[in-house]
Structure 1
């Protein structure tokens, strides 16, 4: 073992030797080009069923838009529009933070 080998390298090598990485879902398959988006973790999150912070906010925005389409009361519509606006602002801030600090 190389004295400069990192802990992660050691763990990865051990997992390979033990066969822990054999038969993983998608092994040997190319990544679909359509899943390669501006979000570098989108493909990984999609495969695992998890979501990025951007994705979670987008789901909430989409749900609010559906409620808006079904709402008939003007007061309720304004509240939902405010919610959508706040969610979109938060998503934009999250994305800008990601770009700036990643």
Structure 2
């Protein structure tokens, strides 16, 4: 038996048993905006967890808030450097995902 066939059989059995009937968001369309920034955002949101991309964006947003409140020029530069590094890391992660997924 091939691997694809095993998956098909397991999925078909789950459908027949009703194991997939009460999933959150069943019958609702996915938000197309999720696919532009984070391909699995809807899955993580329904599971009430944060995606790796979302976690990076959360760190970026937090750093931007700290930057807006900071008045010391040296501390502002440090926060700007942090934001730049986080944005670069997120861009690399997204490109890696696009290229190898």
TM over 0.5: yes
Of 69-78 and 29-38, deviating more is 29-38
Q: Based on CA coordinates, which of the two structures has the bigger radius of gyration?
A: 1
Matches within 5 A, 1:10-89: 10-89=9-88
- Scaled by the length of structure 1, what TM-score is found? 0.78
SS where residue 22 of structure 2 aligns? coil
- Scaled by the length of structure 2, what TM-score is found? 0.78
Greater fraction of residues in helix = 2
Give structure 2 stretches of 5+ with no counterpart: none
Per-residue CA deviation, residues 15-41 of structure 1 (Å, 9 max, x unaligned), is 222221122222222334444435332
SS where residue 6 of structure 1 aligns? helix
Q: Matched residue pairs, number?
A: 100
Residue aligning to 1:92: 91
Q: Go from structure 1 to structure 2 and tell me whether the alpha carbon gap of 1:8 and 1:52 turns closer, same or farther (over 3 Å shift).
A: same
Give structure 1 stretches of 5+ with no counterpart: none
Per-residue CA deviation, residues 25-58 of structure 1 (Å, 9 max, x unaligned), is 2222233444443533222222222333222111
Per-residue CA deviation, residues 49-84 of structure 1 (Å, 9 max, x unaligned), is 233322211111000000111112222212111111
SS where residue 86 of structure 1 aligns? helix
RMSD: 2.1
Q: Go from structure 1 to structure 2 and tell me whether the alpha carbon gap of 1:29 and 1:62 turns closer, same or farther (over 3 Å shift).
A: same
Of 86-95 and 73-82, deviating more is 73-82
